[in-house]
Structure 1
């Protein structure tokens, strides 16, 4: 199993001087009081079907390095240890066990994968291991006290898209194109809930397969339904293919999509056809004039110059930032530096800016971290602009029981 070890830490919000640091208990797991080092770890797919997901981990490492380099934690350093899990849940559990038993980690920080993170929960509960910023979107991640997810449920994001289509774009006929898997089904759930709450009906709701490249029948149905706005929940490639089909068939509807497609890689696939597309996003635009976003751009460009600067990397950076912010709060709290204390202080995080996310809040019994989204629009020339500020998710969906 391939190993990578990093010494590092992130989040521009953490660069302020700390009022003091908590007294570390000698022998606390993952804490070296003498060297002021906290050790965290993650599993990541260096091999397997999605090795490019390691971009997330490299961005997290860049974040930790930035914090270490800027002394953002008042002399404390973050040691980041990762192992390849091949994107296999069973291996994720084995990696986590190794990180706990051999590397003595304090917490998991920005581990990669939805199914992978869910698979690790039983072992994490067994040993009392906090999971901070798991990069995934499963319902199970919101219901465990040890788990603090930053990513929202896709149903909430779809509801934000729909809310903007109705109230921001004044559309009365909105269609949904949804990927026929858990991602798309989650989006459909949120879309349908808000439609029901508003006593509206969708112009169309059409599933497509993950590898779909021909959207001709889908676009024809949407055109026949006279949809004014089309919300697509799928990959960058799906969005680009659908836009090309709409252009070929002369469909003039406005398009909306999820946060992870608001990325320069989508422009490479869709070209100018992406201009004007809207995205509901829990992350600020990657090219925003914001200190935390600039730190991401500059540090990744320096540390990992071959990795693209985009929303994908900002996702990894922001989930790492969540651990940094939590540990900063722990240092300032005066509590013993233990895993249990970290969980306690994480549940007091209120309306924090964390990496590219805003208004992040955790409460006892409520671990929905990102509670607001903004609306981003693709601009001519390849940029992205925040065209509506961050607003809470529609309550009819956000407060509904996840299933």
Structure 2
């Protein structure tokens, strides 16, 4: 199993040398008071069907290095430990257990994968492990007090896509192509609910497996329905493969996809076929003249110069920044540095700027972090341009009861 770590923490001094209140804090896993170091961890797919997702982990790591280098945590440092899970949920659970039992992590920070993060929830609840910024958008991630998702539920994003397809693109026949796991099922729930609210029906709704590389049968079905817009919820590779299949059989349609596919990684896979594709996005544009966005661009270029600068990386950076923000709040609170207190203070975060996200809010019983999205489009010059300003998610889906 591959492992990445930096800023290794040294052994703590003995409890006899510490005041009583410090001893109580020292007992909290992942907190090294003597060296002012907090250890957090994550699972990431170095191998498997989406190895380029390590861009997310690199960006989160760059964020932690930036926090260490700029003294963002008032003298505290972040030690980040990651292991490969091959993008397999069962391995994600095994990695998390290892991080807890061997590395004594304080929290998970920016772990990668929707189905993977959902699979880890039962074990996290068993040991009281906070999950800060899981990089996934499943409905289940919003229903647990230990979990603080920055990404929107993919159901909300699918509803935003559908709203734009119907009202921005004036389409009457909209189809959904969805990954057959928690990522795609969450998108389908939101898509179906918004369709039902509008008393409309999908032109087609087709599942596919995450490892699928040939989308010809799926695209033939879409072509038969004469879908004017196809909303795809899956990986960068899935979107590129579907567009190539459509090109092969001569099926012309408008494509829409989630924010993380609006990235140079997808363009590398799809080439010019990506031009004109629309994406819902909860993140500010990567090229924005904004100090937080600039910090992402500068530090990823510094620490991981071979990684592309794009929405995909800004996603990883922003989820790392969520832990930085939460730990800043915990330090400022003066409370003992425990997992439970981290959860308590994060539930007081309100309208915060977190990496590329704005107006991030968490409350007790309401862990919906990002609450608005814009629509961006892939341009022929290789850029991604904002074509609809940020606005709240469709209320029927955003306010639906989470089960």
TM range (shorter): 0.7 to 0.9
Quote how far apart the aligned CAs of 1:132 are: 0.8
Counterpart CA distance in 1 for 2:209 and 2:127 is: 39
Contact 1:7-1:64 within 8 A present in 2 as well: no
In structure 2, the residue matched to 1:20 is none
Counterpart CA distance in 2 for 1:82 and 1:237 is: 24
C-alpha distance 193-337 of structure 1, shift in aligned 2 (>3 A): same
In structure 2, the residue matched to 1:14 is none
The count of aligned residue pairs is: 388
In structure 2, the residue matched to 1:177 is 177
Mark the runs of 5 or more structure 1 residues left unpaired by the alignment: 9-22
Q: Which has the higher contact order (CA 8 A, sep 6+)?
A: 1
Q: CA RMSD in A?
A: 2.7
In structure 1, the residue matched to 2:274 is 274
Quote how far apart the aligned CAs of 1:364 are: 0.8
Counterpart CA distance in 1 for 2:273 and 2:262 is: 13
In structure 2, the residue matched to 1:372 is 372
- Trace 1:115-154 onto structure 2 (pairs within 5 A): 115-154=115-154
Corresponding residue SS for 1:152: coil
C-alpha distance 223-140 of structure 1, shift in aligned 2 (>3 A): closer
- Kindly provide the CA deviation profile for residues 109-164 of structure 1, in whole angstroms up to 9, marking residues without a partner as x: 11223343334333332332211112233333222211112222222111000111
Counterpart CA distance in 2 for 1:392 and 1:220 is: 34
Quote how far apart the aligned CAs of 1:42 are: 2.0
- Trace 1:18-57 onto structure 2 (pairs within 5 A): 26-29=25-28, 30-57=30-57
- Trace 1:213-224 onto structure 2 (pairs within 5 A): 213-215=214-216, 219=219, 222=222
C-alpha distance 301-242 of structure 1, shift in aligned 2 (>3 A): same
Counterpart CA distance in 2 for 1:3 and 1:245 is: 36
Contact 2:139-2:186 within 8 A present in 1 as well: no
Asked if residue 107 in structure 1 is aligned to residue 140 in structure 2, the reply is no
Counterpart CA distance in 1 for 2:341 and 2:185 is: 37
- Please, which moves more after superposition, 310-319 or 257-266? 310-319
C-alpha distance 250-117 of structure 1, shift in aligned 2 (>3 A): closer
C-alpha distance 232-136 of structure 1, shift in aligned 2 (>3 A): closer
- Kindly provide the CA deviation profile for residues 162-209 of structure 1, in whole angstroms up to 9, marking residues without a partner as x: 111222223333233334444333322211211111122333334445
Contact 1:203-1:227 within 8 A present in 2 as well: yes
In structure 2, the residue matched to 1:339 is 339
Contact 2:25-2:336 within 8 A present in 1 as well: no
Corresponding residue SS for 1:299: helix
Counterpart CA distance in 2 for 1:205 and 1:89 is: 25
In structure 1, the residue matched to 2:254 is 254
C-alpha distance 222-117 of structure 1, shift in aligned 2 (>3 A): closer
In structure 1, the residue matched to 2:188 is 188
C-alpha distance 46-389 of structure 1, shift in aligned 2 (>3 A): same
C-alpha distance 176-120 of structure 1, shift in aligned 2 (>3 A): closer
Mark the runs of 5 or more structure 2 residues left unpaired by the alignment: 9-20
TM-score (ref. length: structure 1): 0.86
Counterpart CA distance in 2 for 1:311 and 1:294 is: 13
Contact 2:281-2:373 within 8 A present in 1 as well: yes
C-alpha distance 82-342 of structure 1, shift in aligned 2 (>3 A): same
Quote how far apart the aligned CAs of 1:79 are: 1.5
Contact 1:284-1:386 within 8 A present in 2 as well: no
Counterpart CA distance in 2 for 1:362 and 1:269 is: 36
- Kindly provide the CA deviation profile for residues 304-339 of structure 1, in whole angstroms up to 9, marking residues without a partner as x: 122232333222211111100111111222322221
In structure 1, the residue matched to 2:352 is 352
C-alpha distance 273-104 of structure 1, shift in aligned 2 (>3 A): closer
In structure 1, the residue matched to 2:70 is 70
Contact 2:115-2:183 within 8 A present in 1 as well: no
Counterpart CA distance in 2 for 1:367 and 1:355 is: 18
- Please, which moves more after superposition, 361-370 or 118-127? 118-127
Quote how far apart the aligned CAs of 1:381 are: 0.6
Contact 2:165-2:229 within 8 A present in 1 as well: yes
Counterpart CA distance in 2 for 1:113 and 1:272 is: 27
Corresponding residue SS for 2:318: helix
